[in-house]
Amino acid sequence: MTERQLKGIGVSPGIAVGRVVVVRWALPEVPHRVVARTQVEKEVRRLKAAIKDVRRHFGELRERAVDRAGVDAARIFDAQILMLEDREFIGGVAELIRENHLTAEKAFEFKTLEVRDLWTDAGNPLLKERLADVTGVAIRVIQHLMHRGTDDVWDGISQASIVVAKELSPGLTVQLDREHVVGLISEEGTRTSHAAILAHSIGIPAIFGLRNAVERIRFATTVILDGTRGTVLLDPTPDELAEAQRSETRRSEMTARLEEATTQPSDTLDGTHIALRGNVDLPAEIAAAKAHGAEGVGLLRTEFLLTGQSSLPSEDEQVAYFRRVAEAFPGHPVVVRTYDLGGDKFPAPFRTAPEPNPALGWRAVRVCLDEPAMFRTQIRAILRGAARLPLQLMIPLVTRLDEVERTRAFVAEEAAGLHKAGIEAAASVPVGVMVETPAAAVMADRLAEISDFLSVGTNDLTQYVLVVDRGNARLADRFTPHDPSVLRLLKLVAEAARAAGKPASVCGEMASEPLSAFLLIGLGYKTLSVAPPALPLIKWLIRQVSTERARAAADAALAARSAELALDILRFSLAEAVDLSLLDPDARLPAGRRSGSLKA
């Protein structure tokens, strides 16, 4: 990284080139002035009139947002309109005027600062972020009361400009002139800031959370803003400018191709079908997976049902959730992973003293087998859901054969119990092993014999094989699923499954990244389950390669001495089939993590 390059959080993708305009947007200085007792009611009336005007203004902004960013994004303004209708808040301002004889603008400022302090002290980052919304309302009302011109920040911008501000409100963002404002940079805010969401919906490249941007980026400097990577390049050379234009063209071309891929089958060039499923952690991801054409769910996490709960979810609640997910993917399987609880992911009833090594501790199937009531409830829910829908059960963190056998015994007993009770349920469900420990990988042949499918969880497998905590920044370079040791195990599992005639899939994060997906196809995996946002990219990739090429590349990668060499081999081989420059050079994963970078 050069001194000319600054980094923030890319909140809206795309590349923009323009001259910097620094926008000052803050609460105006309100002089402290008291009014005569007789003037107090007049101040309250002035306050009410101003609020009415500003309320109308926000109504207009909302309309504008509907046009520019869509109905969903426009709802951001509902909250601001409601603030102006908030009787408790406005009543509080009026009270301040009446009791302390303040001017309307001073009283409004006081009340706003009170909310600011309250929210800042609450220590909730989301709340702190929403302060921009409150400030946006306050600025407008106070400016109005002080008879100041409002929102003139966009005036005078007459050429392609990149706006740099300390903080941006949704109101400012929706009003900006798309023809002249080509990019946004803000010191405050993250991806979930309302202004960021609006910038994304409107389609303006934007970077938020760039510390001291106002200080570091001089007025009228030309910059290249890369909203995908979150970088700003100051005073670019002509070569850098040309390159920026080229990347932007490639990016928009690629977006179009990915959209196309969504509706096409995920077949390789030689016609081998790779079943592409989605990983679903939260209910909200169901829609995204479906929209991106997932053939079912390869990993349905169930911990969501427990977050923040004081008790365990009931059998009925679980049945309802499993049905809801499966009904979204008619005709395709949904693989329910039984509770992967442990460490800090415990619901209150099971919370135990912190373990010194939670990753090596009492978690996942170990907890389930020790807490049969909880486990049996979940198994019954899966059996009931499977009555009419293709649900499958997957056991996490298996290290021993008896864990599968005991789970199977539970499944058989509960199925018999449900049958006896006359409750509609499947007589059995496919039981699979999530291969995510070295023990399970090494025992894959035996596990394949006693289970219905194997699915590799690459994150935990990598962590346990390489003895690297992936959360440890110092070891970040060592956490790579492309290490030859992990590759050998991946190969072992695929072959064990094939020999036993059982399907093998990969549901780990690795499958969501193009270079690794190419490798996995080459290793013989016919099912990949990926993060929903990565579905179009992986499908597009599958359609560009032949299994023969993938197999040759995988064989060569297996022979490599290091992860770096394995990646070089894959990159080299994939480059013959795919224009790698079409892909984001950093091959960013949906989770914001990078691995298997396509950049040589």
Partner 1 sequence: MAVIEREAKIVNPLGMHVRPGAEFVKVANRFKSAVAVTNGDVSVNGKSILGMMTLAAECGASIKIKCDGDDAEAAMEALLALVAAGFYEMHLKPEDEEAS
* Candidate residues 216, 345, 543, 594; the one interacting with partner 1 per rule CB under 8 A: 594
User: What are residue 455's phi and psi, to 5 degrees?
Assistant: -140, 125
What is the rounded distance in angstroms from the CA atom of residue 72 to the CA atom of residue 120? 27
**Span near partner 1 by CB under 8 A; candidates 186-194, 232-240, 358-366, 463-471:** 186-194
Q: 57, 200, 292, 507: which one is catalytic?
A: 507
Rule CB under 8 A: choose which of 133, 248, 340, 483 binds partner 1: 133
Task: Show the tokens assigned to 304.
Answer: 């969501």
Stretch that binds partner 1, among 393-401, 419-427, 439-447, 589-597 (CB under 8 A): 589-597
Sequence-ordered list of residues with C-beta below 8 angstroms from that of 7, at least 6 positions apart, any chain: 1, 210, 230, 231, 232
What tokens does 479 get?
A: 């956490």
Strand pairing class (453-456; 504-506)? parallel
Please identify which residue in 59, 70, 203, 283 interacts with partner 1, judged by CB under 8 A: 283
The reply on whether position 191 binds partner 1 by CB under 8 A is yes
Helix, strand, or coil (residue 13): coil
27 is a contact residue toward partner 1 (CB under 8 A): no
Maximum Cα interatomic distance, the chain, rounded to a whole number of Å? 93
Beta bridge partners of 527: 275, 505
Residue 592 engages partner 1 in binding (rule: CB under 8 A): yes
The answer to whether 507 is a known catalytic residue is yes
Q: Select from 345, 537, 471, 488 the least CA-distant residue to 337.
A: 345
Of 110, 151, 145, 117, give the one whose Cα is nearest residue 131: 117
What Cα–Cα distance (Å) separates residue 170 from each residue in 6, 128, 428? Answer: 24, 15, 53
**Residue 503 corresponds to which tokens in the numbers above?**
């399907």
Q: Is 138 in the site for partner 1 (CB under 8 A)?
A: no
Residue 591 CB, shortest distance to partner 1, in Å, is 6
Residues 305 to 324: which contact partner 1 by CB under 8 A?
A: 307-310
CB of 533 to partner 1, least distance (A): 9
Give the nearer residue to partner 1 in terms of CB position, either 229 or 539: 229
Residue 89 within binding range of partner 1, rule CB under 8 A? yes
Residues binding partner 1: number (CB under 8 A):
47
The per-residue DSSP string of 367-388 comes to HHHH-HHHHHHHHHHHHHHTTT
Q: How far is the CB of 87 from partner 1 (least distance, A)?
A: 7
Judge whether 248 and 14 are in contact, CB under 8 Å: yes
**368 in active site:** no
Residue 200 as a binder of partner 1 (CB under 8 A): the answer is: no
Residue 562 and residue 483: Cα distance in Å, rounded? 6
- x/- mask, partner 1, residues 224-263, rule CB under 8 A, reads -----xx---------------------------------
Rule CB under 8 A: choose which of 203, 593, 599, 600 binds partner 1. Answer: 593
Which is catalytic among the residues 57, 144, 194, 200?
Answer: 194
Please report the DSSP string for 292-304 in residue order. TT-SSEEEE--GG
Cα 16 to chain centroid distance, Å, stands at 24
Just list the catalytic residues: 194, 507
Interface residues with partner 1 (CB under 8 A) are 7-10, 75-76, 78-79, 82-83, 85-89, 115, 118-119, 122, 124-127, 130, 133-134, 190-192, 194, 209, 229-230, 282-285, 287-288, 307-310, 591-594
